[in-house]
Amino acid sequence: MLRFLSLRLARALLTLVLVVTFAFVVLRLSGDPALLIMSADAPPEAIAAFRRAWGLDDPLWAQYLRYFTAIFQGDLGNSMRDGRSAVSLVGERIPATLALTVPALFIKIGLGIPAGVYAALHRNSWADRAVMLLAVAGFTVPSFVLGLMLVLLFAVQLGWLPSGGQESWRHAILPVITLGLGGAAVLARFTRSAMLEVLGQPYMRTALAKGVPWQVAVRRHALPNAAIPTVTIVGFMIGSLLAGAVVVESVFSWPGVGRLLVVAVANRDLAVVQAILLLVAATMVTANLVVDLLYGVLDPRLRNGARGTA
Amino acid sequence: MAEPLVEIRGLTVSFDGLPALRGVDLAIGRGEAVALVGESGCGKSVTWLAALGLLPGKARVSGSVTLEGAELIGAPAPALDRIRGGRVAMIFQDPASSLNPVHRIGKQIVEALRLHRGLSGAAAREEARRLLDQVGMPDARRRLDAFPHELSGGQNQRVMIAMALAGRPELLVADEPTTALDVTIQAQILELLAEIRRDTGMALVLVSHDLGVVAETCERVCVMYAGRIVEETAAERLFAGPAHPYAEGLLAALPPMDGPRRPLAAIPGGVPEPWAMPRGCAFAPRCPRRAAACEAAPPPLAEVAPDHRAACLYPGAAAMVSPAPALMPA
């Protein structure tokens, strides 16, 4: 078990290193921050001074080495726009993002999983078809379209809710619903197919053949088994708590991590972009690790597999 | 036979309008061992899944199945739940996937004990251990905490049998219980089933496509073809002289135990598809004794000799006590 865990941790760290490296290279090849931040018609001396100040004149490998050693000292660099540390810039945006994504996660789970289970148990009924129709609509409609439609209806037409900003909890309602519905649709479809798969398994027939009432068989023999694939998706959703709202934050002018990312990328504010990517990758990797460990709890076959590889 | 334990009359099943069972009549006496043989798709498993209400919702079931006079078809769910596992238990072909992979086997056996015998806690666990002992599971106490994937196929089938015995059923339906197992394990499981029947006096229905398996274990054999029973008699009678040409074909396809080796005889043709059932006898297109009358209407299951019934207008001579020359083809 311990070796399994340390192996997974090593892999997680490798993933993070790759993400950081990739972001570092791509960002430096795709645009000159000096031109973007100083604007193209700034005097050449000013631009040259800016480059020197931020070390952009050094060869790429030297910049990378410097950046990498700094990371291990907990220094992710400073914003090129206002000179503040990238970590605190990103850090102060996190609560705003979580204020959207955490309630949205509850909607996804609380709506998606029961809907999927219900649809599977009433396969081919009108309720099943309705749930599936909504689910397909829910994840084919992009979140910015759904967001704009909700704004049109509830903010413009009915005037019940604000269309953007972060002044009160009422401002969070539309973005949370936009995020939640899309995720609930994905989860409903996934849960339904996982349940259908399990309901068709011979062990369900065995349970009924030994006299277990249908509802009890569903609860005891189907739900725990169907949870295994569903946990993967939920884990992925938890992993994207910080990064999953980029589009929705932009649509609703919500000052979270996602909007910061959009602005920072546009300005090639290297340190900020990299700090966000590192943070996102770290939550993703952690969520995956937790899911892997959960598999072992849910499925004894994998528990043994884990022991086997250890 | 005195009042049978289970009596099936005119049982038909169809899926999406396609017939799977086309009128099955069958009676199982107390303590009797009956085999249901036929190739896959002939309806032998469907018969029992339908009887216990275990078919998926899209199956259309009609006819009658009674357990000591009480009707099972259309019975309310709570009544069926008490019968399933409590009076009629069933085990299946693939023991590994028939057990829930996420529950320990002890827990799965205890579930049946709680439902049908009201046992719980330490008493239930002790009884589960006793059942595992009874089915010949080595190191039963430790195995209670094993998961199905930690056991072999044969051991899992023993667990299935132990679980089936938990409710002290009057009838055990074993649906191809040895098909997925190694040959050496097959014999052990069949021996175990026979032994349990001797010890408990429960009736046994063995569903199988393997006549060899059947001969060892059962007193009476029903041969099924395309959703009907086509022959029904004592096992030794069937082997000595089958009446229905399909049963003859099945026996001819078995390798002989002694004598010179010969090529095995295959039955020409294939089973008719459910959407293209012949109007008359379903076997007629493959039958060497086919005559015009065979294609008019399906022949009824009729007595060809005492305790020997066959659904054939021209039953095999070996089965006949007094051949009816008028019916024999020229």
- pLDDT value at position B330? 41
Radius of gyration of chain B (CA): 21
Positions of chain B with pLDDT lower than 50, given as ranges: 321-330
- pLDDT value at position B327? 46
Bridge partner residues of B242 (DSSP): none
- pLDDT value at position B83? 94
- pLDDT value at position B1? 55
Q: Is B328 in contact with B293 (CB distance < 8 Å)?
A: no
- A24-38, A120-134, A168-182, B116-130, range with the lowest pLDDT: A24-38
Q: What does the mean pLDDT of chain A come to?
A: 86
- pLDDT value at position B319? 53
- pLDDT value at position A61? 84
B54/A211 Cβ within 8 A: no
Distance CA B291, CA B276 (A): 20
- pLDDT value at position B146? 93
Architecture of domain A86-303 in this structure: Orthogonal Bundle (1.10)
- Count chain A–chain B contacts defined by CB atoms under 8 A: 79
pLDDT tens readout for residues A29-62: 777 777 777 777 778 888 888 888 887 878 888 8
Q: What is the ipTM, given to two decimal places?
A: 0.88
Distance CA A157, CA A171 (A): 16
Q: Which tokens is B175 given?
A: 């649906």
- pLDDT value at position B234? 92
- pLDDT value at position B323? 44
- pLDDT value at position B84? 94
Q: Nearest by CB to A201, which of B83, B97, B103?
A: B97
Residue recorded with tokens 């000591």 = B68
Percent of chain A with pLDDT over 70: 97
- Residue B212: CB partners within 8 Å, gap ≥ 6? B254
Which residue of A206, A220, A230 is the best one to mutate when testing the B interface, meaning the one whose CB has the most B CBs within 10 A?
A206
CA distances in angstroms from B152 to A207, A305, B149, B185, listed in the order given: 20, 17, 8, 10
- A130-139, A297-306, B287-296, range with the lowest pLDDT: A297-306
Q: Is B142 in contact with B134 (CB distance < 8 Å)?
A: no
Q: Where are the domains of chain A?
A: 86-303
Contacts of A294 in chain B (CB under 8 A): none
- pLDDT value at position A304? 56
Report the pLDDT averaged over residues A293-304: 80
B92/A205 Cβ within 8 A: yes
CA distances in angstroms from B3 to A38, B67, B172, B288, listed in the order given: 99, 10, 18, 38
- pLDDT value at position B145? 93
Q: Nearest by CB to A209, which of B54, B101, B116?
A: B54
User: Is pLDDT larger for residue A179 or for residue A80?
Assistant: A179
Q: Is B127 in contact with B141 (CB distance < 8 Å)?
A: no
- pLDDT value at position B160? 94
Residue recorded with tokens 């899944």 = B49
Q: Considering only CA atoms, which of B52, B55, B66, B53 is closest in space to residue B20? A: B55
